[in-house]
Amino acid sequence: MLITSRGLGHYWKTHYADHTFRNAYRWNAFDVSLLVPYFLVMLILAFYGLHRYQLVWLYYRNKRNEAHSDQPAATFAEDELPFVTIQLPIYNEQFVIQRLMDACCRLDYPRDRFEIQLLDDSTDETVSVASAMVARFAAGTQGLAPQPVFYLHRTNRHGFKAGALEEGLRSSRGELIAIFDADFVPPPDWLRKVVHHFAEPGVGMVQTRWTHLNRNYSFLTQVEAILLDGHFVLEHGGRSRAGVFFNFNGTAGMWRRQAIDEAGGWEHDTLTEDTDLSYRAQLKGWKFKYLQDVECPAELPIEMTAFKTQQARWAKGLIQVGKKSLPGILRSNISKHQKLEAWYHLTANISYPLMIVLSVLLMPAMIIRSWQGPLQMLLIDLPLFMASTMSVSSFYLVSQKELFPRSWYKTFLYLPFLMALGVGLTITNTKAVMEALLGIKTAFARTPKYAVQKKGEKSHAKKYRKRLGIIPWIELAIGCYFAATVWYAITTENYFTVPFLLLFVLGYWYTGLLSIFQGLFERRSSQGEGLHEKPYPMGI
């Protein structure tokens, strides 16, 4: 059929225009189905990011409310010092318990006013090492006078750490209970600095700040130290100064026995029994104090696999406590500010599954939005980026400035890797968070420590290292996916997103490769030394 130019125009209008419109409509609907969840996730992450800014604001705004170790509201007379029970929960910790026990036996406190309980749930050589060590300290053959130390060993591990602490309480004499994990080394004056704050009747718990024995062991431990410093300076500092709830960290703190009992005692239905008890005690009206100027050094995990295990346990435990406690918190008669802060604290790890969703939608969203100009994308994305991502860097910069006013600027060198490490934990922590949300129970996974403080020392890492599983390979694959998004961003001249995307590439590749290389090193080392140890169950 011959179609004239006029007829062709009519044919286009009647046959193609409507078809193009229908396709455009379907395409727009598809766009919306991807962009709505994409921006919703970005918005939620931005709210959690803005909360970090709020913690910094609370920290400085309420500076006058900071508690100091040398300024307790009241003090005990020397002959009225309360009896203190020091609990040391351990599980397969043969490399660090000597250091811990020696430090606790050197605490400056009247010997007739405290006792030390070594609560041992171990299943390996630690049992014989620990029992023999306690006997030596009790007999006074360790270069010290005979010490009031007691060894309690369980064989069933019921309740894990919470169960061990509860078991120890049954035979304890202390009005106050101090707790130290195996890798901590309390300084001699720690008890003296803390105990007088309990002369104030309403104080139920005093937490002190963790410092780091092996901060300079490796690049990884330096980044870990900055992460923990941010938690202890700005989260604990900001919350305690503002008078909202904050948590006992499981170690380097002291409880009033009455507060533990009135809150219902230690419960083991979550992996963060310390946070669980903290919220129950504060809902009962007990006051918590945080002493930022009292330091208690500890050992940081020296391996990526150990660090992942620690972070996953904390992530899962906080979500478990949120499920358990938030309904009661929201129904209680505490202030709205306290309720809101508890919500942010206990739900913060939901950001990890959201990061997975963001990772999946990022490339499609970039393709769909390719019609936008750079300025339009900048105006939309920059505020969300500043809220969700830049808040992380400013948060940790401020904490380092507070602790190290003369050298804090060096933290700028670590910021990209710090942010990337947070991204790299997404897979591990998402798995942990989803287990918590679905009610999947897992055993308490300890973080292995080896008393290694500097390069060149003999590491016992192969003794307690967990198998790698599939997680590192998933991390490498996702890193490759983000490498493709970097390539796409460059080819479409979307240059301002490249630094953001590179954080994802660096984070996933760093955590994945470091996990795999440590495992390979272990296997080669074991083969070379002729060691044939029974492998431990697969971990995260």
Half-sphere exposure of residue 405, counting CA atoms within 13 Å on the CB side?
1
- Backbone region of residue 218 per phi and psi (left: phi > 0; alpha: psi in -120 to 50; beta: other values): beta
CA distance 448 to 445: 9
- In angstroms, the CA 80 to CA 75 distance is 10
Rounded to the nearest 5 percent, the helix, strand and coil shares of the chain are 60, 10, 30
Contacts of 316 (CB under 8 A, 6+ apart): 271, 432, 433, 435, 436, 442
User: Is the Cβ–Cβ distance between 263 and 425 less than 8 Å?
Assistant: no
Mode of pairing for the β-strands spanning 203-212 and 253-256: antiparallel
From the candidates 121, 181, 276, 381, which is the catalytic residue?
121
- Determine whether 276 is an active site residue: no
The sheet carrying 114-120 orders its strands as 149-153, 114-120, 84-90, 176-179, 253-256, 203-212, 287-298
Catalytic residue among 120, 183, 274, 381: 274
Dist. CA 167–CA 165, nearest whole Å: 5
CA distance linking residue 66 with residue 68, whole number of Å: 6
The β-bridge relationship of strands 253-256 and 176-179 is antiparallel
Within a 13 Å sphere around the CA of 372, how many CA atoms are in the beta-carbon half?
A: 14
Tell me if residue 102 is catalytic.
no
Residue 236: half-sphere exposure toward Cβ, Cα within 13 Å: 25
How many Å apart are CA 364 and CA 262, to the nearest integer? 53
Give the active site residues.
121, 274
